[in-house]
Amino acid sequence: MKRWLKAIAHCGLLLLLLVTGCAVPMTNQIPMTTVADQNAPLPITIAVGAPHVPVYLNFDLAQALGYFADEGLAVELQYFEGGSDAAAALTSGAVDFSGNAMDHVLEAQMAGADLRMLMNFLDQPCATLIVRSDLADVIRSPADLAGHTVGVTRLGSATHTLTVFVAANAGVAADAFTAVEVGSATMPDALRAGQIDVAMGVAPYSTELVNAGEAQVLLDLCQPAAVQAAIGGGMPFTGLLTRADVIADQPDVAQRVVNALVKAQRFITSHSAEEIVAALPTAVIGNDDAAYRQALAATLPAFSQADGAIDPAGLERLLELHKTFGTITETTQVDQSSLYDNEFVESFRAANAEATVTAGTGPQLTFGNGDNVSSVSLAKLKTALPVVTLTVEDEVYDRPKTYEGFWLLDLLAYANLLDTAGDMLLFRAADGYEIRIEMAAVQQNQPRGFVAFRDVEAAAGWEPFPKGKATITPAPFYLVWDGTAQPATAAGAENTMRVGEPWSWSYQLTAIE
């Protein structure tokens, strides 16, 4: 079976232009409230740094699932073609909230303004560096960028600063290549026209080019292991921004916006790409839901598993990025505590303590048996089952690999799925890919199924590997096999021929039914 997982590049955002003229003029949408309309939804406009891209998924999902409405908000999402424009709208007071990267907050502080990040959607800089296919033999990695033209969403945006940082870590100075502003949705046309050789883009626009064979992936920064190798680890990326005066004057409104977006974050981190896409309207995913699903599946590993709370260690790495870019110097005084405010996320957690036990514990594995479906966190599984360290001859990496995980039979027993002897087990991945294996084959002694949750040899948790033109990891769970492949009981049945052969090594596993 062939699974189409394409690399995704994500996010056209960052670093404020901080010039009011760069933003689309608009008026503040928050009205004075009278006794007659106290129960009416409160109108809010949120400026979003790119239209309908996975790195800003929380906004579209909260709208689609009614989370904003649940908080008594009537939200208008206003989309921009670059994060700098959305941040300018926030800084000017045209809107009170925006979807942007942390970079804009730092730039605002350097210019004397006071923006804050209230919630971090992604803690990996989820963008993808792609190269035009006709240049793929010339530009093979970021180390080959010298002398070439690189497209970014906006000059000074997150895609720009990230490109400079990645290049610097590969030994290429910022003045050795040319950065060109091409927007986000308009980036594919610029690459097709030959205006740029390489692009630091976001899904689904970068995915569109890769799927069409017009571009190839150089670096997928949605994958934690790839980020670790390229720039040393994750950092705050896209999220919810506001101004300090909004926090002071309208804390209740800020809390309600955060509540809706944390609910969306928990939905994202506990559901498969297929399930998330099913919840979104055509206006968001477009006419090709398969392409959007692929882009989203590749983005999911980058989403924060901490309800969007900002990690100070990641922020330190972001500051190193901006020292490289030139936003700040080694002697610049940066008040890190004023760059973000975790109070609203923490308040949501305190008010939803029972749900936090599940949502804050990381990856979830879903078990289904007829109408009985439940999702169990990795943390809970680790307390309920023996954690095993196992070395296998890995069919995907084509070499021995060592993992931490659980024996498959232990998982099935825990989920009461062993009582369905003779039935087929379905293993579903994040992108909707499925394999079916007979229960009798799973219960045999050779080979034994093993569900891994960590690659022991990888500092970031998982080692990336190439898949088509993309680079992915097996996270959150990976079905591997210990021992020699043996025929299943129904050797001629579709998808059940030989358990343990390469097709049955199911990575990015999210559900067993």
pLDDT digits (tens, 9 = 90+) for 99-142: 999 989 998 988 999 999 999 999 888 889 999 999 999 999 99
Q: Burial level of 383, CB count in 10 A (0-12/13-18/19+)?
A: exposed
Q: Please report the pLDDT score of residue 81 as a whole number.
A: 81
Please answer whether residues 499 and 492 qualify as being in contact, where contact means their C-beta atoms are separated by less than 8 angstroms.
no
**What is the average pLDDT across 258-278?**
91
Please answer whether residues 236 and 120 qualify as being in contact, where contact means their C-beta atoms are separated by less than 8 angstroms.
yes
Q: What are phi and psi of 466, to 5 degrees?
A: -75, 140
**Which residues are within 8 A (CB) of 268 and not within 5 positions of it... i.e. 6 or more apart?**
57, 58, 61, 276, 300, 303
* pLDDT surpassing 70 at residue 496: no
- The number of beta carbons lying within 10 Å of the beta carbon of residue 137 is 9
The Cα 452–Cα 456 span in angstroms is 10
Q: What percent of the chain has pLDDT over 90?
A: 43
Instruction: State pTM to two decimals.
Output: 0.61
Please answer whether residues 236 and 316 qualify as being in contact, where contact means their C-beta atoms are separated by less than 8 angstroms.
no
| Nearest in space to 130 (alpha carbons), one of 179, 188, 52, 193 | 188
Out of 42-46, 81-85, 145-149, least confident range: 81-85
pLDDT digits (tens, 9 = 90+) for 281-297: 999 998 888 888 888 88
Q: Please report the pLDDT score of residue 36 as a whole number.
A: 41
Q: Please report the pLDDT score of residue 10 as a whole number.
A: 38
Q: How confident is the model at residue 184 (pLDDT cuts 50, 70, 90)?
A: confident
Per DSSP, the three-state class of 173 is coil
* pLDDT surpassing 70 at residue 363: yes
**Which residues are within 8 A (CB) of 214 and not within 5 positions of it... i.e. 6 or more apart?**
132, 133, 188, 191, 192
Helix axes 83-92, 102-110, angle to 10 degrees: 50
Identify the structural domains of the chain with CATH numbers, from first to last: 20-124+236-354 (3.40.190.10), 128-231 (3.40.190.10), 364-512 (no CATH)
Place of tokens 């971090």: 120
The residue among 464 and 335 whose pLDDT is bigger is: 335
Q: What percent of the chain has pLDDT over 70?
A: 83
Q: How many helices (H) and strands (E) does the chain have?
A: 19, 23
pLDDT digits (tens, 9 = 90+) for 12-34: 333 333 333 333 333 334 344 44
The Cα 81–Cα 121 span in angstroms is 19
Tokens of 222: 């949605």
**What is the average pLDDT across 177-182?**
95
* pLDDT surpassing 60 at residue 467: yes
Q: Please report the pLDDT score of residue 468 as a whole number.
A: 63
Q: Please report the pLDDT score of residue 258 as a whole number.
A: 98
| Nearest in space to 395 (alpha carbons), one of 478, 491, 459, 336 | 478
Q: Please report the pLDDT score of residue 362 as a whole number.
A: 61
* pLDDT surpassing 80 at residue 271: yes
pLDDT digits (tens, 9 = 90+) for 404-415: 999 999 999 998
* pLDDT surpassing 50 at residue 146: yes
Q: Please report the pLDDT score of residue 434 as a whole number.
A: 80
Out of 61-70, 382-391, 412-421, least confident range: 412-421
Q: Please report the pLDDT score of residue 67 as a whole number.
A: 94
Q: Please report the pLDDT score of residue 360 as a whole number.
A: 44
**Which residues are within 8 A (CB) of 49 and not within 5 positions of it... i.e. 6 or more apart?**
11, 12, 13, 14, 56, 80, 82, 83, 85, 86, 87, 98, 99, 100, 101, 238
Positions of E strands within 312-354: none
Q: Please report the pLDDT score of residue 495 as a whole number.
A: 42
- The number of beta carbons lying within 10 Å of the beta carbon of residue 79 is 20
The residue among 417 and 89 whose pLDDT is bigger is: 89
Q: Please report the pLDDT score of residue 513 as a whole number.
A: 85
Please answer whether residues 299 and 237 qualify as being in contact, where contact means their C-beta atoms are separated by less than 8 angstroms.
no
Per DSSP, the three-state class of 357 is helix
Query: What does 177-208 look like in DSSP terms, one character per residue?
Result: SEEEE--STTHHHHHHTTS-SEEEE-TTHHHH
The Cα 341–Cα 327 span in angstroms is 22
**Which residues are within 8 A (CB) of 396 and not within 5 positions of it... i.e. 6 or more apart?**
465, 474, 502, 505, 507
